[in-house]
Amino acid sequence: MTAQAGDTFPFSIAAQKSALRSVLRKRRSRIARADRQKAARQAAQALLKHLPPRCRIAIYLSVHSELSTQPLRAALLRAGHQVSVPVTLRDWQMRFLPFSERTALRSNGPLRLPEPVARRPMCSARRFDVILVPLLGFDATGGRIGNGGGYYDRALAAPRIGGRPQRIGYAYAVQRVDLLPMEAFDVRLDAVVTEGGWQRFPKLP
């Protein structure tokens, strides 16, 4: 079942987003543990089929009820891909740091999320072939709603060269909604990967 954003939530876009986030968090939290683990394995397999060799990819370190990236992290490193993870800065910006099996992590930054202890060498989103984007919800046009901090929207707002980095959502299939309320600064996804597979979105004018 998909959520109806337009008819069931308050009028303003900000209010619609706030209400929709609450609905989607509850929906995601109800997924059983065994189903979460299975979905994480299936999504990792689906994504790996679409990556070029030795891809430069930034992934998120999953927390709480997010689709886990743990199986994906291990698979990417085994396949020889160049993996980085985000760090959040106090000026509301996001950068990325290299990640390996030996990377030491701690809960750091303004969001208290797991991040590498070492703070160098940082780089921007433009370095990557693919940015894996966490989300609360997505729709059929590539619309995305996140947690509301805007870190990914700011990080991915710079003009792209040759369509890179690709912006790939990573989520459970149940996180799809019919239509999301979008604002001018909201960055759309190129594709999404769920336990059901890979979905490419049409390019909008």
Domain CATH for 16: 3.40.50.10420
Q: How far apart are the C-alpha atoms of 63 and 28, rounded to whole Å? A: 12
Residue 53 lies in a domain: yes
Q: Is 167 helix (H, G, I), strand (E, B) or coil?
A: strand
Let me know: does 158 contact 131? Beta carbons within 8 Å. Answer: no
Assess if residue 117 is contained within a domain.
yes
Q: Which H or E element spans position 127?
A: none
Q: Model's pTM, two decimal places?
A: 0.89
Structural domain that includes position 54: 5-197
As for how many domains the chain has, the answer is: 1
Dihedral sign for Cα atoms in the order 150, 19, 137, 116: positive
In a domain, 44, yes or no: yes
Residues of the chain predicted below pLDDT 50: 1-10
- What pLDDT does 7 receive? 44
How confident is the model at residue 205, as a pLDDT? 60
Tokens representing 1 are: 């079942």
Residue 164 lies in a domain: yes
